[in-house]
Amino acid sequence: MESSYQHLTQTNLRVPKMLTIGLGGAGCKSTDVLYREDEVSPDVLNMHTNAESLDSSKAQLRLQLGTSLTHGLSAGGDLQIGSLCIQQDEEAIRDLVEAYDMVILVVGLGGGTGSGGAPPLVKLLRKLDILTFVFAILPFDFEGDNRKRQAEATLADLKGHANAVVCFPNQRLFELGHKNISLNQAFHLADDYLSKAICSMYELCSSPGLLGLDFSDVQSLAENSHGTCSVAVSVNEGADAGSQCVEELLSSPMLEHGSLLAKSDAVLIGIIGNENLSLSKIKRIFNEIITVAKPEAKIYTGVSIDKDKDGVSLLLFTSEDWFGPKELIYESEKPELDENGERIPAGIQDDLIQSDLGLEKNKNMKYASRSSTVINGEDLDIPTFIRKNIKLSN
């Protein structure tokens, strides 16, 4: 039985190739945490202008950027240098990434290499048709306005080009620790959190488990998320591990203490456990999360069983601004019944008015981020009969 299952997975399912890229100082440091003996981790490519920092990183693939521009030093907070470095090494980057289907780019925003280099790098990845998630680390409040502004400008740019951007504000990650935590401990905590999220995502996508997440599910969530997602992860051991994970995630600062889940239009729930994870426990975890989510939210689920895993990992991806194809059921579409309980054929109900059709719901979907075509003060994207207030006769 076991061998026929393996045969099936090998022949019928193509496992997507996933690469994690660490860009700049924070990106390279965060991906180093991926190298732990007990974790399954994807291929890692670290890229940095700073040769010393790159040399000390553990990634199996490493690329020094812009050697003739920075001579092995950092970009000194200059975004233009970071951008030029990526352009200068475009060919080498292309060779390293083109065999992959999906990239998670981990980058700290606000500095030169990461903030300057991330937008052209993402554009290159998308040109190569690689599904691109950006895990963007945002600066602490105390780092000052200049860093904050640089980070915000890059973030806006990335949202317009990556398939999805997931923000990890250092300030919020800081809340995961105790009150008197040191900066070093806070960075470590943040990097550890990121690595758990990356490894869980990798495991769910790459091991076709009981209820394996299809690559197209992840693609659909990313592509319909309007560029913005949130991610929260929890790992626990012991008999009560599943419930502890749910409890932790529902109070996680990464999901604004559960309120983001309640506001999201699409939610991906991924569970990884060992062979002791019973079906009833899986069902309970899904139910507890789904109860908090919006009733009409699109739910994606994945379960992966790893016999060597200690405990349970629970990963939640939420998208507040999802514009995927929803099944819209309007009040007026419910079948009308006569006094004998018989369905009245469509067309006979004469009380249908336009406001029942819920047209407002579609107003700001796929093209909400695009600016309108305004000529002489008139928005040409609005249909003429509405713009000119022309009454249509029955």
Ligand X SMILES: Nc1nc2c(ncn2[C@@H]2O[C@H](COP(=O)(O)OP(=O)(O)OP(=O)(O)O)[C@@H](O)[C@H]2O)c(=O)[nH]1
Q: Say which entry of ligand X, Mg ion, none residue 139 contacts (CB below 5 to 8 A, set by partner kind).
A: ligand X
CA torsion, ordered 67, 53, 119, 156, to nearest 10 deg: -150
Q: What is the DSSP string of 137-184?
A: EEPPGGG-HHHHHHHHHHHHHHHTTSSEEEEEEHHHHHTTS-TT--HH
The residue type found at 8 is: L
Q: How many residues does the chain have?
A: 394
C-alpha distances (whole Å) from 168 to each of 18, 30, 220, 311 are: 20, 12, 22, 25
Structure tokens at 284: 């309970």
Residue nearest ligand X, CB atom distance: 111
Which of 126, 188 has the CB closer to ligand X?
188
Binding partner at 26 among Mg ion, ligand X, none, C-beta below 5 to 8 Å by kind: ligand X
Minimal distance in Å, beta carbon 123 to Mg ion? 22
The residues, ordered by sequence, that sit 6+ positions from 155 with a Cβ below 8 Å of its Cβ are 109, 136, 138, 165, 167
Q: Which residues have C-beta within 8 Å of that of residue 251, sequence separation ≥ 6?
A: 257, 258
Residue 93 in contact with residue 185, Cβ under 8 Å? no
Q: Which does 315 bind (CB under 5 to 8 A by kind): Mg ion, ligand X, none?
A: none
Q: Which residues bind ligand X (CB under 6 A)?
A: 24-26, 29-30, 49, 74-77, 108, 110-114, 137, 139-140, 143, 147, 170, 187, 190-191
Task: Tell me how far, at minimum, the Cβ of 25 lies from ligand X, in Å.
Answer: 3
Could you tell me which stretch among 73-81, 116-124, 195-203, 307-315 binds Mg ion (CB under 5 A)? 73-81
- Looking at the Cβ atoms of 191 and 265, the one nearer to ligand X is 191
CA distances from 261 to 136, 267, 300, 321, 380 (A): 20, 8, 13, 12, 36
Question: What own/partner pairs with CB < 8 Å and gap ≥ 24 does 354-357 have?
Answer: 356/330, 356/331, 356/332, 357/330, 357/332
Task: Tell me whether residue 196 or residue 309 sits nearer to ligand X (CB atom).
Answer: 196
**Partner whose binding site includes residue 137, from ligand X, Mg ion, none (CB under 5 to 8 Å by kind):** ligand X
For residue 124, give every residue at least 6 positions away whose Cβ sits within 8 Å of its Cβ, in sequence order, or none: 86, 90, 93, 94, 97
**Number of residues binding to Mg ion, judged by CB under 5 A:** 3
Which region, judged by CB under 5 A, interacts with Mg ion, from 77-85, 109-117, 244-252, 377-385?
109-117
Nearer to ligand X, 131 or 137 (CB): 137
**What per-residue string of b and e applies to 303-320 under the rule 16 or more CB within 10 Å gives b?**
bbbbeebebbbbbbbbbe
Residue 74 or 313: the one with the smaller Cβ distance to Mg ion is 74
Q: How many CB atoms lie within 10 A of CB 133?
A: 27
- Kindly state the smallest distance separating residue 172's Cβ from ligand X, in Å: 11
> Of 58 and 94, which CB lies nearer to Mg ion in the complex structure?
58
Q: Per CB under 5 A, does 25 bind Mg ion?
A: yes
Candidate ranges 22-30, 133-141, 281-289, 334-342; the one touching Mg ion (CB under 5 A): 22-30
111 vs 273, which CB is nearer to ligand X?
111
The least distance separating ligand X from the CB of residue 354, rounded to whole angstroms, comes to 51
Shortest distance in whole angstroms from residue 48 CB to ligand X = 7
With CB under 5 A as the contact rule, the residue among 20, 30, 49, 74 that binds Mg ion is: 74
What minimum distance in Å lies between the beta carbon of 167 and ligand X? Answer: 12
- Is 105 or 241 the residue whose CB approaches ligand X more closely? 105
DSSP 365: S
Minimum distance, C-beta of residue 194 to Mg ion, in the bound complex (Å): 17
Q: Is 318 in the site for Mg ion (CB under 5 A)?
A: no
Which is nearer to ligand X, 26 or 86 (by Cβ)? 26
Which residues sit at the interface with Mg ion, rule CB under 5 A?
25, 74, 111
